[in-house]
Structure 1
């Protein structure tokens, strides 16, 4: 439960989305003696216009049971004491939940999927994106932030997205989500078919490089990135054969960007782009110090975990952190202020482009491809404005008329805690 609570706290702190549900619902619970009473009171509150924001933020955990024997046998376990629901039973429960959310709160309630396993995450996103306003931060938020980092990195290394060759270590929801968004952005700016753009992107999973000969055994979300190539088992072999300009780690396995891998990247790239995105720090594919040292200071580096600045041969390099908190709060705000009824891929691309624009030459001079977090409220307003504008352009916005200045409108809608002084 700490995960959805934490995410909503960031929506409020970084994106200015009102946190009303937390305080109001807690107060209602304290005032009521039984469940039916507080549900009735909450329904009455929701129907009053001046407290419509009561449901602005609501953290939810869906309990489908557990296969953990220790928990099942623990007399103090407060969760559902049964084996995990799977298959048809699981999907029927999610269907019931999604239908109830839409029935009670309408088309404009944003449901964010968080920490769903790969085999469920992609299926749920594909299924409900056509009928509900849904967003998966692990797939879409991560992809949007990384794409923003790449767009900013291009200003340092030159060339466009289509001029690069990408190699991923990790082909789960994060890796394939990032890869797909890169392909979509490439296609948007070159008018090449998305399938052709995917051919610039290679992925390595636990069994080696994704290639055509493995296609039948691959999960469906990996298949678009299985290309014609000989089978390769290791990352180093893939780097040496494919010669990528961009290396991205989403494997969750620490120390996999070895010295040999980084030195190989630096041997055929003047400025290799190396994103070590797995976290926590112990799972990072390499550290900032390793990336800068082994590349002899040539790497354009970003990570999922925070790293301190690195001094190499008299120069200080400041590693960027590819943190989802750069995007999802502003993205959610843009969806809310426009009254969007669906999330479209172009809205994610707009968020990436807005974040990339916030990086300045001063940042680049330090090797930093993401703007400092100290400006996050302004960054969130900029992202919200671009996302809202795209929603209006696509005919997905329901809050009319369209404001003349969406950035100022986004800022005016942002919640800021102001406390009355009594002394």
Structure 2
């Protein structure tokens, strides 16, 4: 075991008792060919490595050449996962130096295919698979000393992976990918991160019938038994790590908001699908105002997909509107939530509690002209309500049809259209189609990366309105000041910090968001805003505001090799 912390950004030397194959097999400690001659002497590495002593830069160049030789992104994804499980410093050096190229491989859109093929790609264990049959063992599993340094956990139950639905244990690819971004974009040391899969079974017949499926082969457990399992998990986490950040990821809409409300005041926790998506959408909309010239208080928002993510977006934008001076009752009328049954209106059956604040009054739409009198479709909403903003979180490819987009362009000089669903195959529209159907006037943001557009004879990058602009900074800020809670106002601070960094603030012809290559700097900016808000709300202890930036920067790890010294194994 390492005797000196390997988790500090400023560590100058690591002491460890591991040697030989044991040292090379530890991805947090392995340097591969970069072990110095003196280290090879001290750790019995001669003969186990080729004689040439390399550098991290040479290793990055070598791995990048191999990576680019593959024909498909899923091959690149598998290669990077193997690299992460072999040498984490090299993996993150490669990622940090090539963020724009590798983000779509490490995370969306490729991570979706990675989850679907997780059982076939599985090589080495990473993180924790906590299955319901082992509910009584959770505390003992978490108690192992290897987890002593954990500060950030991302957890899923695999039921709603991106727009792909129930992937069972394959959903583990999401926590692994999210935490890779926590390190690559936010700078958290990988030793402080822990991906967790809560395996409560699956209702995906392909998983259940697959002889290679690695998860618990059982139909998905629900109801009281499910809730008791989640309670056992949260209680064990809070006991083991009093200051840990717990991020909920890709839970079904019936559980996402419910679990957030149940646990948000018990520990430092948030749901990225609800709050992170809301913050990046709000921040990007605040940036779009610089381009459209339409004040926030005059915006009308149509959201396709009225689940936890869509209502989370609406809630934060609504709060931003009231912050800007609009009465809350008036702000509420400016949202048009469209789900599988059409526009949500009062009196509809099956309305969830989180949807309730966004129901349209039947009387308000009584005079609308509809294509079908028994259902208010998205096109009806666009034609009658004339929204200025159209946001998609439905997971329904093609939901923003040509008639819908042309109707948006007819009523708006610069329509704001954000097809945010992931992966790319589930996007409500492609930027190319939006550009054509709006005659080049749409202000576009997408959840996944797309090729650049041609505008005025030049290439124009499509803004990737992805949570990677928000959650690494939120986590970094909360962890740095040991915030006891994560509040909606902290996410509002994150959204406004992102908007303040918009290139379009100074030039309306530029992008709404900073480039992906700047995500590390963006994360620090967001972290500072979040930490200051936490301090303002009294959620930190014994910290002065002039300490906050230093605390944040002390958590930002840059992948590099440091010297090792051998010590005797502890007998305690």
- TM-score, normalising length: structure 1: 0.85
- Of 527, 535, 538, the match for 1:392: 535
Please give the alpha-carbon distance, in whole angstroms, between the structure 2 residues aligned to 1:415 and 1:403: 22
Deviation at 1:92, TM superposition (A): 0.7
Is structure 2 residue 415 aligned with structure 1 residue 415? Answer: no
Q: How does 1:129-140 map to 2 (within 5 A)?
A: 129-140=264-275
Contact 1:348 1:387 in 2 (8 A): yes
Q: Deviations over 1:33-89 (max 9, x none)?
A: xxxxxxxxxxxxxxxxxxxxxxx2111111112334565566654432333221001
- Of 233, 236, 241, the match for 1:100: 236
If each structure's helix is expressed as a fraction of its own residues, which one has the higher value?
A: 1
Gap change, CA 1:138 and 1:412, over 3 Å in 2: same
Is structure 2 residue 359 aligned with structure 1 residue 187? Answer: no
Please give the alpha-carbon distance, in whole angstroms, between the structure 1 residues aligned to 2:340 and 2:206: 30
Q: How does 1:315-330 map to 2 (within 5 A)?
A: 316-330=459-473
Partner of 1:135: helix, strand, or coil?
Answer: strand
Root mean square deviation of aligned Cα: 2.1
- Of 207, 212, 216, the match for 2:346: 212
Contact 1:180 1:198 in 2 (8 A): no
User: What is the number of residues matched between the two proteins?
Assistant: 383
Gap change, CA 1:294 and 1:348, over 3 Å in 2: same
Deviation at 1:384, TM superposition (A): 0.4
In structure 2, the partner of 1:79 is: 215
Q: Deviations over 1:140-167 (max 9, x none)?
A: 1111111110000011112432210001
Gap change, CA 1:232 and 1:392, over 3 Å in 2: same
Deviation at 1:304, TM superposition (A): 1.1
In structure 1, stretches of 5+ residues that fail to align are 21-55
Partner of 1:212: helix, strand, or coil?
Answer: coil
Contact 1:281 1:305 in 2 (8 A): yes
In structure 2, the partner of 1:311 is: 454
Moved more, 289-298 or 139-148: 289-298
Moved more, 353-362 or 295-304: 353-362
- TM-score, normalising length: structure 2: 0.64
Is structure 2 residue 311 aligned with structure 1 residue 176? Answer: yes
Deviation at 1:314, TM superposition (A): 3.7
Gap change, CA 1:256 and 1:75, over 3 Å in 2: closer
Is structure 2 residue 358 aligned with structure 1 residue 225? Answer: yes
In structure 2, stretches of 5+ residues that fail to align are 1-171, 367-373, 565-572
Contact 2:304 2:378 in 1 (8 A): yes
Please give the alpha-carbon distance, in whole angstroms, between the structure 1 residues aligned to 2:401 and 2:232: 47
Is structure 2 residue 490 aligned with structure 1 residue 347? Answer: yes
In structure 2, the partner of 1:153 is: 288
Q: How does 1:17-416 map to 2 (within 5 A)?
A: 17-20=188-191, 56-68=192-204, 71-72=207-208, 77-106=213-242, 108-190=243-325, 192-193=327-328, 195-214=329-348, 216-228=349-361, 229-230=365-366, 232-312=375-455, 314=457, 316-361=459-504, 364-398=507-541, 400-404=542-546, 406-416=548-558
Moved more, 58-67 or 202-211: 58-67
Contact 2:290 2:505 in 1 (8 A): no
In structure 2, the partner of 1:7 is: 178
Contact 1:277 1:284 in 2 (8 A): yes
- Structure label with greater radius of gyration: 2
Q: Deviations over 1:354-384 (max 9, x none)?
A: 1111112488544521110111111111100
Contact 2:290 2:508 in 1 (8 A): no
Partner of 1:343: helix, strand, or coil?
Answer: coil
Contact 1:170 1:251 in 2 (8 A): yes
